[in-house]
Amino acid sequence: MHKTATKLADGRELVYYDQEFGAARNAVDERPLEPSASLSETRLDPVLGEWVTVAAHRQQRTYHPPAGECPLCPSRNGRLSEVPAADYQVVVFENRFPSLAPDSAAHVTAHEDDPLRTLRPGTGRCEVVCFAPDHDASFADLDEAGARLVLDAWTDRTAELSARPEVRQVYCFENRGEEIGVTLAHPHGQIYAFPFVPSRTARMIGRAEAYRASTGRNLFEDLVAAERATPERLVLRGGHWTAFVPFAARWPYEVHLYPNRRVRDLTALNEAERAEFPGLYLDLLRRFDRLFPAPAGSAPNRTPYISAWHQAPKDGGDELALHLELFTVRRAPGRLKYLAGVESGLDAFVTDVSPEAAAERLREAAAD
């Protein structure tokens, strides 16, 4: 992997990632952009003990632009975008409308003395990861070398962002499909570098620590071993990775992908694990697309999904295991899983598809 860092017109950082050295990455951003100020703040919910980010300045962010005005396509034929180069393989840049930003500390004053109204600046960082220059492509369209380059970019960003003093946890994820809420159709994901440990991560750490205290073993190591030994929820089993539908899956079709060797984060993967990941992950994404075949003569189906890496925070969380969670809100052809009142209001999920049946469907969705 070769990386080239540069700056956009308003001072934001942009990094090109290429499979080999030699690509010309010296294009200059010629747009007349002024630096913007982030007014993000994080507020602590005194009842749940969870941090909520308030980023009112994001109301004016780009929303469903025409394909010819996509800000994630390369700059070509006089049309200037967020990517100055006329082509790229993978590119990462600071979000123009970030939920979290380092300069929030210069514009927001912390309030720590009132336990009912604890407020801090929304420091941290939000980045956009463009997986390919083709506007109409998808991650599943990448070859294994392209998927490996994205993995290398995620790993590099995890290392760099974790080193920032204000960052507690790095979260790499992709949302695909309008049904999920995606507002830019170009194949891309995001990275959030949080100044706090999100509540779900904190809950996982707490459960793992309690499991260690009661059994003397690691929760995630036992979980992966149990799923590899029992085929009913297993989807894919590689030499270094295992993909399975969780026993208590929340979503109609949900798969968790773990390295067989427990590691804290992406930076701890070894070369054998990195080499095997692209093929398995692309297989999973393509199986999701085959779950709901498109009618004959229509465009190929693209199942909406969220795909997210769960990594340990940089301080603590030693019992946590790196893993990827992939799920879709589609429960049947033409039907979406909408959160019911008990789910949105109480986090008490009710699933419409049994995990065992979902795993069987995904196994059947292998390529011919």
Known binding-site positions for Zn(2+): 70, 73, 135, 186
Handedness of CA 163, 49, 94, 23 (dihedral sign): positive
Cα radius of gyration (the chain): 21
d(CA 118, CA 111): 6
Binding-site residue ranges: 70, 73, 135, 186
Q: Which residue has the tokens 């969780």?
A: 246
Nearest alpha carbon to residue 182 among 344, 63, 289: 63
Nearest alpha carbon to residue 189 among 212, 173, 208, 169: 173
- Kindly state the DSSP code that residue 169 receives in the 8-state scheme: E
Handedness of CA 260, 266, 272, 276 (dihedral sign): positive
Tell me the residue type at 47: V
- Token digits of residue 215: 């059994």
Q: Which residue has the tokens 């210069």?
A: 106
Report the half-sphere exposure of 108 (CA within 13 A, side-chain side): 27
C-alpha distances in Å from residue 345, one per residue of 191, 342, 348: 27, 5, 8
If DSSP codes are grouped into helix, strand and coil, which group holds residue 339? coil
Q: 169 has which bridge partners?
A: 194
Nearest alpha carbon to residue 54 among 134, 8, 118: 118
d(CA 280, CA 145): 13
Indicate which residues carry an active-site annotation: 188
d(CA 126, CA 170): 10
* Phi (first) and psi of residue 46, to 5 degrees: -70, -20
